[in-house]
A and B are shown apart, each in its own frame.
Chain A
Amino acid sequence: MSDIKVLLVDDEEELVSTLVERLGYRQIKAQFILNGAAAIQKMREESFDVVVLDLKLPGISGIETMRVIKKEHPLVPIILITGHGSLGDNQEMPKGAFEYLPKPIDLEILIQKIKQAVTVK
Chain B
Amino acid sequence: MTPDDNNGRSQKLKNGDLAFFGALTASVSHELNNIISIIDQSAGLLTDLLAGAQSGRPLSPEQLERIADRIKYQTGRGVDFIRRLNAFAHSTDEPVREFELNQLVENLAALTVRFASLKGVNLKVTYSDQPLNIITSPFLIQQVLYLIIKNILDRALKNDDIALSIERHDRTHARLVVTSMARGEPEPQKAAEWKALVGIMKGEVFISTQGEKIIFEILVPGVRT
Contacts and interface: CB of A to CB of B under 8 A. Distances in A.
Interface of A is mostly: loop
A38 interface: no
A12 B52 contact: no
Contacts of B41: 15, 18-19, 22, 104-105, 107
Nearest to A55: B30
A89 interface: no
B193 to A, nearest CB: 27
Interface string A61-88: 1000000000000000000000111000
A58 B118 CA distance: 4
Contacts of A59: 118-120, 158
A22 B37 CA distance: 14
A15 B30 contact: no
B120 A104 contact: no
A45 interface: no
B30 A25 contact: no
A103 interface: yes
Given A25-B52, A85-B33, A105-B37, A57 B45 contact: no
B190 interface: no
A84 B30 contact: yes
B48 A83 contact: no
A18 B118 contact: no
A33 to B, nearest CB: 15
A104 B118 contact: no
Contacts of A29: none
B52 A103 contact: no
B154 to A, nearest CB: 14
Interface in B2-50: 26, 29-31, 33-34, 36-38, 40-42, 44-45, 48
Given A18-B45, A21-B45, A25-B48, A56 B37 contact: no
Interface residues of B, number: 23
B117 interface: yes
Contacts of B37: 12, 15, 83, 103-105
Nearest to A24: B48
Given A12-B38, A83-B33, A56 B118 contact: yes
A3 interface: no
A46 interface: no
A92 interface: no
Contacts of A84: 26, 30, 33
User: By CB atoms of chain A within 10 A, which of B26, B36, B70, B120 has the most?
Assistant: B120
Interface of A: 12, 14-15, 18-19, 21-22, 25, 56-59, 61, 83-85, 103-105, 107
Given A18-B45, A103-B34, 18 more contacts: A12-B34, A12-B38, A14-B38, A15-B38, A18-B38, A18-B44, A21-B45, A22-B41, A56-B30, A59-B118, A61-B118, A83-B34, A83-B37, A84-B33, A85-B33, A103-B36, A104-B33, A105-B41
